[in-house]
Structure 1
Amino acid sequence: MMTIIAAFAGAIWGAYLAKKRGGNKKDIAQYAVSSAMVFGLFAMVVSIILLRFI
């Protein structure tokens, strides 16, 4: 669940960042997808670490 929420948050943040920098629709989509993947991967690693040690 944490991974999905982090992926959505990353997509929103990436789209906002691309729009703020003046990107077109393709730039906004690319930033959103790449940020979602990075945030989701990071959250997955953190959740695995937490589950292993708790």
Structure 2
Amino acid sequence: NEDALEQFNKALEVDPTSATAYTNKGFLHLHVHQNFDSAKELFMKAIKVDPSCIE
């Protein structure tokens, strides 16, 4: 869904350290767009900004 992607992008503009936004955007790329490389990159960014987000 493009609306969801737009909302995640806006959230990251407001707070580029939001692990939640990176994670949710990653799940969108993984499950909706079947883009595994982008999803992995987004999950890694989430972990970088908040290592505890993988718990």
Same fold per superposition (TM over 0.5): no
After TM superposition, the score normalised by the length of structure 2 is: 0.36
More helix by share: 1
After TM superposition, the score normalised by the length of structure 1 is: 0.36
